[in-house]
Amino acid sequence: MNVPQRRPFFARLVEGGYVFVRDVSSGFWAVAHHGLVLLGVLIVAAAVLIVGKPDLRQQAETRLTAWLTERQPAASQEENAATITTAAAVSPQLPVDRATAADPQALPRAQARLALWIARKYQVAPEPMAALVADAYKAGQASHIEPALILAVMAVESGFNPFAQSAAGAQGLMQVMTSVHGDKYNDYGGNYAAFDPLSNLRVGVWVLRNCIDKAGSTAGGLRCYVGAAHLPTDGGYASKVLAEYERMQQVAGILPRASRPTHTANAAAAVDKWRAAPVIVVAALAQAER
């Protein structure tokens, strides 16, 4: 009589484990399959209901948007905050940090007259012009350039259009060549600051100051500023700027209104006198204009 041999314990254990795993897997996939089918049915039913009722669709969109916003990664928010903080630390005069308009009547009399006159002549709003004139006076005192000369350069260069751009690529109020002086906008947030009025003014004043120092005179500095330092003529650029400078001086009350514009050489000499004056004298002259 043949007696069946018993299989080793280990083989029977492996076979039992295999059967167990197979049965559990089959059960899991069956449950998952039925669950997905049920989920699909619910989604289709919800979609039909939402499409049929616009008010429910709007509520669903609102809740979904709120849910996504609340779950925005905290790291992204921290990075954005860090970027803004860093930018503000680089320059306290970024466009977002200060107003670009002011009440002309709040300015000293000379500045208010000049702001309103420019606003009428060049058809621009008086409030932004008031802020621009005030900043031109501050920049002028800091750089030893008469404020009226700074404003006259703007008038001739761009007609006080902060978005002006020449065929050569000069940009903004003072038509600074961003391709040449782009590094000077780093403290103001980058090259796009060329179209921010006050940032462009400050960079333009720096360039003008450098040109005047190199040329040794205002007339020569203006020729340098327009890129005609080594050319036989500047096309009348310096004369236009100095003539507008004299008109602005008359409006501000520095020159008598009844007087006619003098020869540009005399105007340039007057500007050079301001440039050569000590800081304390410049401050006293500015105070006298009040």
For residues 66 and 206, membership in a common domain is answered with no
What does DSSP assign to residue 144?
A: T
82, 85, 89, 94 alpha-carbon torsion, rounded to 10°: 130
For residues 175 and 49, membership in a common domain is answered with no
Six-digit token string for 120: 């009428």
**Domain count across the chain:** 2
For every residue of 216-227, DSSP letters joined together read SSHHHHHHHHTT
Lowest mean pLDDT among 18-27, 123-132, 145-154, 206-215: 18-27
Domain membership of residue 276 as a residue range: 100-288
Q: Is residue 82 part of a domain?
A: no
What is the rounded distance in angstroms from the CA atom of residue 132 to the CA atom of residue 208? 17
For residues 113 and 189, membership in a common domain is answered with yes
Taking Cα atoms as reference points, which of 132, 235, 229 lies closest to residue 174?
Answer: 132
Kind plus residue range of the DSSP H or E element containing 186: none
pLDDT (tens digit per residue) in 29-86: 777 777 777 777 777 766 666 666 666 566 666 666 665 555 555 444 444 444 434 3
> Does residue 239 carry a pLDDT above 90?
yes
For residues 129 and 214, membership in a common domain is answered with yes
Q: Under a CB-based contact definition with an 8 Å cutoff, are residues 201 and 136 in contact? A: yes
Q: Is residue 89 part of a domain?
A: no
For residues 252 and 116, membership in a common domain is answered with yes
For residues 131 and 192, membership in a common domain is answered with yes
For residues 209 and 276, membership in a common domain is answered with yes
One-letter amino acid at 49 equals: L
pLDDT > 90 fraction of the chain, expressed in percent and rounded: 39
For residues 53 and 121, membership in a common domain is answered with no
For residues 27 and 164, membership in a common domain is answered with no
Domain boundary among the residues 70, 85, 110 is at 70
pLDDT at residue number 180: 83
Query: What sections of the chain are H helices per DSSP?
Result: 9-52, 54-70, 74-90, 109-122, 126-143, 147-158, 178-181, 197-215, 218-225, 237-252, 264-276, 279-288
For residues 217 and 170, membership in a common domain is answered with yes
pLDDT (tens digit per residue) in 264-276: 555 555 555 544 5
pLDDT at residue number 71: 56
What does DSSP assign to residue 104?
A: G
Tally Cβ neighbours within 10 Å of residue 87: 15
Six-digit token string for 85: 């903080």
pLDDT at residue number 204: 92
94 pLDDT tier (thresholds 50, 70, 90): low
CB within 8 A of 10, min separation 6: which ones?
A: none
pLDDT at residue number 6: 60
For residues 154 and 230, membership in a common domain is answered with yes
For residues 187 and 263, membership in a common domain is answered with yes
